[in-house]
Structure 1
Amino acid sequence: MNNLQPAADAHHFLAPAKLNLDLRIVGRRADGYHLLESIFTLITLYDQIWFKINRTGSIKLHTPVAGIEPEEDLCVRAAQLLRRHTGTRLGVDIWLDKQIPIGGGLGGGSADAAVVLMALNRLWQLELNKTQLLQLGVQLGADVPFFIFGQSAFARGIGEDLSPIILPKQWYVIIKPPVHVSTPKIFAHKDLTRDSKPRIMPDFQAEQHWRNDMQSVVLAEYPAVKVAFDVLAEYGSPMMSGSGACVFLPFDSENAAQAVYNKVFYAHQAYCVASLAKHPFYQ
């Protein structure tokens, strides 16, 4: 069997991407981490992951992502973390079909890590509860807990303090510019807003002005992101997700989203997706 192809009896899971519908920087901790407030939604853009449990204790990713050493891959790190934490002697062979663009602010690596924790907790029969998985997830990255949380959320802190929020069904056109935005560079930028006013739980219907406090800095520093932003701005009020580089435009109907996607996909790496109320793992 070609090792790039999953084993026929491997267990299959979907790892959905996310959008930050709103992102505000409200302060900074003593250790330098920025304090954020964000509204997350899951979307119908997926990585696919297959797992085959082994009894040798080895953890192997058969489909390494170009430019990322296997031992640095979040899938491998998540499996190793779970194995260390629980002391299990089981191992796993992993196959990853990467469809969520890397470096786009859509949380692909974090989405994969979350599914590894959730799936292996089940397949290794470890019986950790969701709170325990959330505590492990934050050790891998600030976005990982959201994917384990598994539904639309209002996030505080560095992204680990999560409250459920009800969002209406929406569709989105996303453009991924041909550039990788450096998150550390943006967080260190002298012009970054760091003092947005903290909020109580936002009301989606009442909110009129979503924003991303990183957006103006990224648009100024990365011309390719500005190009994508300007393309979508012809059809509405786009916004950047996370620290970039992806830019998205929301729609109330699939037909409206598809019509704009049909106008932009030929010249740009673009996606037409819908919001997800719940992570596929919990359905």
Structure 2
Amino acid sequence: MHQPQLLNCPAPAKLNLFLHITGRRADGYHLLQSVFQLIDRCDSLDFYVRQDGEIHRLNQVHGVPEQDDLVIKAARLLQSYTGTLQGAEIHLHKNLPMGGGLGGGSSDAATTLIALNHLWKCNLNRQTLMQLGLQLGADVPFFIYGQNAFVEGIGEQMQAVSTSDQWFIVIEPGVHVPTPTIFSAKELTRNTKPVRITDFSNAAKVEWKNDMQAVACALHPEIAAVIHWLKQFELHQGDAKMTGSGSCVFCAFPNEEAAKKVFKQVPSQWTSWIAKALQQHPINLKVNL
């Protein structure tokens, strides 16, 4: 008997168009404001339903044992929450770098929750899946939300925002930045003045920056070198910046032609690619939530 399956499920990267840290909660979590931008660079996952309740990853992922993989944790969380007797085999095609600030692991977990909710016929709505996702990581709810967002709190408060149809060059400097290292640094700016979502469309009034960038650059001069190189191609001051807690660096361009022109000049010691801004999560074309 043929088992239900869902193949080539996209798990897109995100860029932080800015990232301001506005304070810190009593429990140590940092309060932030950011605009999360989906891009068309993705991991991809294949899901095959099992009837025996077992959950397994079909392939090795370098540096991530199966039991530590957010994909497996997401599947088990959904299984536990819904009480389904079904299981799954999952093949993860990893395309996004780990420790790059692109949200790859969180995106993989979100796609897993969305796909298995559909395959297992759990019928949970988007809001419930977002609440489950928050147990796995602060970025997971955004990828379930499924569109670009102005994000506040610890990353769980979202408002839809329209962003420019632009292109990006993303450069991976070849270093891994553990997020806890950045958040625990004494030098981290934690008192940036809060902005409003309406300010985002009127960028001239606000300095859009990444508050984690200075700490990451001090720890990893390679990141600073990439930012310095990309700055010569900025349309607006501050366009070239790090995403998330690093290490990937990006710069926006108005069209594909402009991005390709600069892309040809990227020094060969760095891994780089061109990405297009998305307005919607591409899994929305496969699965209705």
Q: 2:127 aligns with which of 125, 131, 155?
A: 131
**C-alpha distance in 2 between matches for 1:223 and 1:105:** 17
SS where residue 189 of structure 1 aligns? coil
Superposition pairs for residues 77-116 of structure 1, below 5 Å? 77-116=73-112
Q: 1:188 aligns with which of 184, 188, 191?
A: 184
Contact 2:4 2:119 in 1 (8 A): no
Query: Does structure 1 residue 253 correspond to structure 2 residue 267?
Result: no
- Distance 1:86-1:229 versus aligned 2 partners, 3 A rule: same
Superposition pairs for residues 1-283 of structure 1, below 5 Å? 10-208=6-204, 209-236=207-234, 237-264=239-266, 266-283=268-285
Alpha-carbon offset, residue 10 of structure 1: 5.0
SS where residue 15 of structure 2 aligns? strand
**C-alpha distance in 1 between matches for 2:81 and 2:22:** 33
Alpha-carbon offset, residue 69 of structure 1: 1.2
Contact 1:167 1:204 in 2 (8 A): no
Report Cα offsets for 1:171-205 as digits up to 9, x if no partner: 00010011101211111111110011112214443
**C-alpha distance in 1 between matches for 2:109 and 2:276:** 22
Alpha-carbon offset, residue 235 of structure 1: 1.4
SS where residue 26 of structure 2 aligns? coil
The amino acid that maps onto 2:277 is S
**C-alpha distance in 2 between matches for 1:71 and 1:182:** 19
- Distance 1:197-1:72 versus aligned 2 partners, 3 A rule: same
Report Cα offsets for 1:47-105 as digits up to 9, x if no partner: 01000001011100011311111011010000000000000010000001100111100
Contact 1:265 1:271 in 2 (8 A): no
Aligned residues between the structures:
277
Alpha-carbon offset, residue 234 of structure 1: 2.2
Which ranges of structure 1 fall in alignment gaps of 5 or more residues? 1-6
SS where residue 263 of structure 1 aligns? coil
Report Cα offsets for 1:99-121 as digits up to 9, x if no partner: 01111000000000000000000
Contact 2:143 2:281 in 1 (8 A): yes
Of residues 201-210 and 135-144 in structure 1, the stretch that sits farther from structure 2 once superposed is 201-210
Contact 2:170 2:248 in 1 (8 A): yes
**C-alpha distance in 2 between matches for 1:202 and 1:260:** 31
CA RMSD, aligned part only? 1.4
The residue that corresponds to 1:3 in the other structure is none
Alpha-carbon offset, residue 232 of structure 1: 1.0
**C-alpha distance in 1 between matches for 2:100 and 2:267:** 16
**C-alpha distance in 2 between matches for 1:251 and 1:24:** 22
SS where residue 84 of structure 1 aligns? helix
**C-alpha distance in 1 between matches for 2:155 and 2:6:** 32
Contact 2:50 2:89 in 1 (8 A): yes
Contact 1:232 1:249 in 2 (8 A): yes
Contact 2:6 2:119 in 1 (8 A): no
Report Cα offsets for 1:208-260 as digits up to 9, x if no partner: 33210111111111111112112212212411000000000001111001111
SS where residue 216 of structure 1 aligns? helix
The amino acid that maps onto 1:268 is W
**C-alpha distance in 1 between matches for 2:209 and 2:176:** 21
The residue that corresponds to 1:4 in the other structure is none
**C-alpha distance in 2 between matches for 1:223 and 1:117:** 37
Alpha-carbon offset, residue 268 of structure 1: 1.4
TM-score, length-normalised on structure 2?
Answer: 0.93
**C-alpha distance in 1 between matches for 2:63 and 2:257:** 37
Which ranges of structure 2 fall in alignment gaps of 5 or more residues? none
**C-alpha distance in 2 between matches for 1:268 and 1:182:** 19
